[in-house]
Chain A
Amino acid sequence: MKIDSRKALKFYKDKINANNQYTLTLYVCAGTSCVSSKSVEIADRLKAEIDKKGLSVEMNVVKTGCFGFCGQGPIIEIEPDKVTYVQVTVDDVEDIVKTHLMNREIVERLTYDMTDEGDYEMAFYKKQKRIALRHCGAIDPESLEDAIAHGGYEALAYALYDLTPDEVIGIIKDSGLRGRGGGGFPTGLKWQFTKAVEDEEKYVICNADEGDPGAFMDRSICEGDPHAIIEAMAINGYATGAKNGLIYIRAEYTLATKRLLKALKDARDAGFLGNNVFGTDFSFDIELKAGAGAFVCGEETALIHSMEGLRGEPTVKPPFPSESGFRGKPSNVNNVETYANIPIILVKGAEWFNKIGTEKSKGTKVFALAGNVRNIGLVEVPMGTTFREIIYDIGGGIPDDIPFKGVQIGGPSGGVITEEYLDTPIDYDSLKEVGAMMGSGGMIIMDEKTDMVEIAKFYLDFTQDESCGKCTPCRIGTKRLHEMLEKLTNMEGSPEDLELLEELALNVQNTSLCGLGQSAPNPVLSTLRFFRNEYEAYANREKPHGYRVIEEECIGCTKCKRVCPVDAISGEVKKPHSIDQSICIECGACIEACPKGAIVYE
Chain B
Amino acid sequence: MKEKVLDVSNLDQDALKSLDKHIDSLKGSNEKETLIPVLYKAQELFGYLPHNLQRHIAMKMDLPSAHVNGVVTFYSFFSEHPTGTYTVSVCMGTACYVKGAKDVLERVKKLTGASEESMSDDGLFSIKDVRCIGACGLAPVMTINDEVYGKLKPDDVDDIIARYKEDNQ
Contacts and interface: CB of A to CB of B under 8 A. Distances in A.
A391 interface: no
Contact of A372 (B98, B135, B150): B98
A36 B138 contact: yes
A213 B76 contact: no
Interface stretch (B14-22, B28-36, B104-112): B28-36
A291 B76 CA distance: 10
Contact of A371 (B39, B40, B77, B99): B99
A205 B81 CA distance: 33
A242 interface: no
Contact of B36 (A70, A292, A458): A292
29 contacts: A33-B135, A70-B135, A70-B138, A73-B137, A213-B92, A213-B93, A213-B131, A213-B132, A216-B134, A216-B136, A253-B134, A290-B37, A291-B75, A291-B77, A294-B74, A295-B131, A311-B70, A327-B30, A368-B95, A370-B95, A370-B136, A370-B137, A371-B94, A371-B98, A377-B137, A411-B94, A444-B98, A455-B98, A458-B94
Contact of B34 (A309, A377, A459): A309
A376 B139 contact: yes
B33 A408 contact: no
10 smallest A-B Cβ distances: which pairs?
A70-B137, A370-B95, A292-B75, A214-B94, A293-B76, A213-B93, A216-B134, A36-B148, A309-B35, A293-B77
B59 interface: no
Contacts of A36: 135, 138, 141, 148, 150
A37 interface: yes
Contact of A290 (B30, B36, B74, B137): B36
B92 to A, nearest CB: 7
A37 B76 contact: no
A309 B71 contact: yes
A331 B37 CA distance: 22
A30 to B, nearest CB: 13
Given A213-B132, A371-B95, A37 B34 contact: no
B60 to A, nearest CB: 14
A327 to B, nearest CB: 7
Given A214-B95, A370-B94, A446-B98, A70 B136 contact: yes
Interface in A297-339: 306-312, 327
A285 to B, nearest CB: 15
A293 B98 contact: no
Nearest to A294: B75
A69 B37 CA distance: 35
Interface of A: 32-33, 36-37, 69-73, 211-216, 219-220, 251-253, 290-295, 306-312, 327, 368, 370-372, 376-377, 408, 411, 442, 444, 446, 450, 455, 458-459, 462, 468
Contacts of B35: 309
Given A37-B150, A292-B75, A458 B133 contact: no
Interface in B135-160: 135-139, 141, 148, 150
B94 A444 contact: yes
A252 B71 CA distance: 18
B61 to A, nearest CB: 9
Interface string B28-65: 00101111110110000000000000000000000000
A404 B39 CA distance: 46
Given A292-B78, A294-B74, A294-B76, 14 more contacts: A33-B134, A33-B137, A216-B134, A220-B134, A251-B77, A252-B130, A290-B40, A291-B77, A293-B76, A295-B131, A371-B95, A372-B98, A372-B99, A377-B137
A298 to B, nearest CB: 12
Q: Taking each of A73, A213, A253, A377, which has the highest tally of chain B beta carbons within 10 Å of its own beta carbon?
A: A213
Contacts of B139: 370, 376
Interface string B91-122: 01111011100000000000000000000000
A389 B157 CA distance: 36
A376 B97 contact: no
A354 to B, nearest CB: 31
Contacts of A295: 131
A441 B36 CA distance: 29
Nearest to A217: B134
Nearest to A36: B148
B71 A311 contact: yes
Contact of A307 (B33, B76, B137): B33
A295 to B, nearest CB: 7
Given A442-B94, A446-B98, A72 B131 contact: no
Nearest to B31: A309
A416 to B, nearest CB: 12
Q: For A310, A312, A411, A455, which residue has the most chain B Cβ atoms within 10 angstroms?
A: A310
Say which size band chain B's interface belongs to. Answer: 35 or more
A306 B71 CA distance: 9
Given A70-B137, A309-B32, A376 B150 contact: no
Nearest to A252: B133
Nearest to A447: B98
Contacts of A308: 32-33
B74 A71 contact: no
A32 B33 contact: no
Contact of B136 (A33, A253, A291, A292): A33
Contact of B131 (A290, A450, A462): A462
A219 B136 CA distance: 13
Contacts of A307: 33
A259 B87 CA distance: 25
Contact of B98 (A69, A294, A450): A450
Contacts of A408: 94
Contacts of B99: 371-372
Contacts of A458: 94, 97
Contacts of A293: 75-77
B43 to A, nearest CB: 10
B117 to A, nearest CB: 14
> Interface centre among B35, B40, B78, B97, by most A CB within 10 Å?
B97
A468 B97 contact: no
A376 B95 contact: yes
B104 to A, nearest CB: 15
Contacts of A292: 36, 39-40, 75-78
Contact of A32 (B75, B93, B134): B134
A214 B138 contact: no
Interface centre among B39, B92, B97, B134 (most CB of A within 10 A): B134
Contacts of B97: 213, 458
B75 A376 contact: no
Contacts of B39: 292
A253 B148 CA distance: 14
Contacts of B137: 33, 69-73, 370, 376-377
B89 to A, nearest CB: 9
A370 B134 CA distance: 11
A371 B99 CA distance: 7
